[in-house]
Chain A
Amino acid sequence: LAKTTQPISMDSYEGQEVNITCSHNNIATNDYITWYQQFPSQGPRFIIQGYKTKVTNEVASLFIPADRKSSTLSLPRVSLSDTAVYYCLVGDVYGGATNKLIFGTGTLLAVQP
């Protein structure tokens, strides 16, 4: 499974746009990129998933360049409640023997007033 690298922490202020970049140089052809959010003492929550170009939902946008060796999670106008750890994962989401998720240490986003 592809290894991912992302910043350990980021700081922001309320109302700003936050971009968290993840590197995955060894991403495989069948791999998708998935981002999860985790608050303290809670399980991770699925945010967004994509394969290439741009994906947008009601929570975030995901930008994936043509070579797919990196991806950027974009959170528009963050609020204090967006303070959490954000995990970037890559893997084949269409089956196979197992789709166990391989988490890194994630990016701790701290949003200040």
Chain B
Amino acid sequence: DTGVSQDPRHKITKRGQNVTFRCDPISEHNRLYWYRQTLGQGPEFLTYFQNEAQLEKSRLLSDRFSAERPKGSFSTLEIQRTEQGDSAMYLCASSWTRDRETQYFGPGTRLLVL
């Protein structure tokens, strides 16, 4: 297994456009997390899935954000009507809850909203 992958790695968009990011977790992992990171700060939790169920969403996740994980495999994070404040690195992590849980992060998608 090659770890958590994210696509695209970089995205530049104009304000008001919609963007969608994809995360492919480590194959046997049942939990998937999305985080957002701005410059100079640590990652901030956005939402997480256990299998296909979205179990928690942060207040950071406004109604312009939506995340899905159909069939409990890959996940998508969509941002509608992007704003300049959405510019950040969007990180995905996955984990397996059977034993002591360790989250493994992907390389992230860097979003720039012009």
Contact = CB atoms under 8 A, between A and B. Distances in A.
Contacts of A94: 100-101
A27 to B, nearest CB: 16
Contact of B102 (A43, A49, A98): A49
Contacts of B101: 93-95, 99
- Among A97, A98, A100, A102, find the residue whose CB has the most chain B CB atoms closer than 10 A: A100
A2 interface: no
A42 B31 CA distance: 20
Interface in B8-67: 31, 33, 35, 40-45, 48, 55-56, 58
Given A32-B100, A43-B93, A87-B42, A100 B56 contact: yes
Contacts of A98: 48, 55-56
A110 B83 CA distance: 34
Contacts of B97: 95, 99
A101 B103 contact: yes
A13 interface: no
Q: Which of A43, A44, A93, A100 has the most CB of B within 10 A?
A: A43
A49 to B, nearest CB: 7
Given A100-B33, A102-B45, A46 B40 contact: no
B106 A43 contact: yes
B42 to A, nearest CB: 3
A42 B41 CA distance: 13
A43 B108 contact: yes
B110 A104 contact: no
A88 B24 CA distance: 26
Given A32-B100, A95-B101, A101-B103, A43 B56 contact: no
Interface of B: 4, 31, 33, 35, 40-45, 48, 55-56, 58, 89, 91-93, 95, 97, 100-108, 110
Given A46-B103, A93-B100, A101-B93, 4 more contacts: A32-B100, A42-B108, A93-B101, A105-B42
